[in-house]
Amino acid sequence: MPELPEVETTVRGLATVLDGQVITRVGVNRADLRRPFPVDLAQALTGARVTGLSRRAKYGLIHTDRDRTMVFHLGMSGRWRIDPEDIGKHDHLVLETADGRVLSLNDARRFGSVDLVDTAALDAWPQFAALGPEPLGEGLSVAHLKAAFKGRIAAVKLLLLDQRIVAGLGNIYVCEALGRAGIHPEREGGKVSAKALALLVPAIRDVLNESIAAGGSTLRDYARPSGELGYFAKDWRVYGREGEACACGGTVERVVQGGRSTFFCGTCQK
């Protein structure tokens, strides 16, 4: 599933061709993805000018001058294509702009979603209302994590995946951040010291920023809007490296937490 860096990379790629442009045509090629497309999507967007693009957690946002925002989620296999050579059966939403550009939302598995939300009401939208702070924003701090983890016996890795605590963190980047911070993923959240949290916060930011700079991690169908593949996977230190040597001299292990694989080094992560 595309995670925060992949969504951020997608939003930045779309902004290069969509920001400030007028949408002249909206093609909805099927009734639904994970849930139905908004019935007024074409009417709301046709003729609208894009006033900006942003991201919240793992959602991309396309803002318009009609005070409505199109919110998209890439699901398991979704990706935007810019000026595709042709429109295929998995290109379920197509936008055309006044300067002749074409953008298609391609989603073979159809686990993605598209919604229309009044821009002024975005923070209160149910999918956003309960989200925690953005990991790249000032809201993520040692004090925030200390308060969120206080008294919790759940594993720190599972707590970091809780979108109510930190918005947008996914399995790959939590494994990588914990590895960099030297924190064992099975440690009880309430027992993670302030000293360890002081290492974890910058580790989260660093791993996300490095992945964004690399265009994300290529997993299955993910590609940037330009069609290029992200290459951060080559820099994974623990994720997907079970049985391989860690830089500390230990060996990367794998356990299952919450139904997901967790990769870590038991030698340097305590």
Query: Which residues are annotated as catalytic?
Result: 2-3, 58, 260
Place of tokens 């139904």: 259
Q: Which residues contact 193 (CB under 8 A, 6 or more apart)?
A: none
Query: Cα angle at 74 between 121 and 254, to 5 degrees?
Result: 115
Check if the beta carbon of residue 79 is closer than 8 Å to that of residue 6: no
Decide if 174 contacts 165 (C-beta within 8 A): no
Rounded CA separation 8/32 (Å): 24
The contacts of residue 133 (CB under 8 Å, 6+ apart) are 139, 140, 144, 166, 167
Closest Cα partner for 95 from 80, 107, 108?
80
